Amino acid sequence: MIGAVLAGGRSTRLGRDKTRLRLPGDGRDMLARTADLLAACTDEVLVSCRADAVPPGLPYRAVPDFEEGLGPFGGVWSLLRAVREPVLVLSCDLPFMDAATLRRLVKTRDARPADALMTTYQQAETGYIEALTAIYEPACLPFFEAARAQGIRQINLVVPEARQARIVYTRGEARPFFNINFPADLERALSLAAGPQATSPADFPENPPVPPRADKGQPATDRR
């Protein structure tokens, strides 16, 4: 299985490069931290990025976006085109992602139904699909090709629900999925990282509800 860091976003909402962020107590930046997590549970680590933004001195093979401007959809699509192997994708803006969460994902993938092409997490309260913490099988590629032809960019709408294996988690288990999109998110992450590990659901905002599958024109959130 291939591990892939999704690091192709422009971080326009945050105003600074997410891949270079560092949290207290960890000398690694977010790109290195995410790659280390993937290296522990996959055979090879790749970095998905824009063609004009390959990180200098990158110790991993870069997979540039096949087509620019498609957000995370374009990153996963490009990876599936490039490797033709199962790919565990992980966004680079998850400061509290941990090895146990990824091991559970891999274990669930290994025991998935034969027709399941995507293994992922789902938030119980909202139904939100963690499409950027997920394993995509090579047979997902035709679905991505069809989605691109139809103008679908919202990544959680690409693989049919019936072809997904999902692990349901509650807000009380949401710490690994806390992501940094805005300056306020970074401030919150710095505060949480500096203190005791938070266990209260109030520490982590709810992800938005899953939109109807008919809403295929809405662009994907760029969390890379």
Q: Give the tens place of pLDDT for each residue, 99-145.
A: 999 999 999 999 999 999 999 999 999 999 999 999 999 999 999 99
| 72 found inside a domain | yes
Whole-number Å distance between alpha carbons of 2 and 27 = 25
135, containing H or E segment: strand 129-136
- pLDDT single digits (tens) 15-38: 567 878 888 778 889 999 999 999
Answer whether residue 199 is part of any domain: yes
Q: Average model confidence (pLDDT) for the chain?
A: 86
Residue 127 in tokens: 């139904």
Task: For residue 15, give the amino acid letter.
Answer: G
User: Positive or negative CA dihedral for 171, 175, 177, 180?
Assistant: positive
Q: Residue 91's closest CA among 182, 221, 224, 222?
A: 224
Total-model pTM = 0.86
Residue 221 domain flag: no
Strands 118-123 and 87-91: unpaired
- Has residue 195 been placed in a domain? yes
Residue at 216 is within a domain = no
Tokens representing 202 are: 């109030």
CATH number at residue 151: 3.90.550.10
pLDDT at residue number 16: 64
Domain interval for residue 153: 2-203
- How many domains, in total, are found in the chain? 1
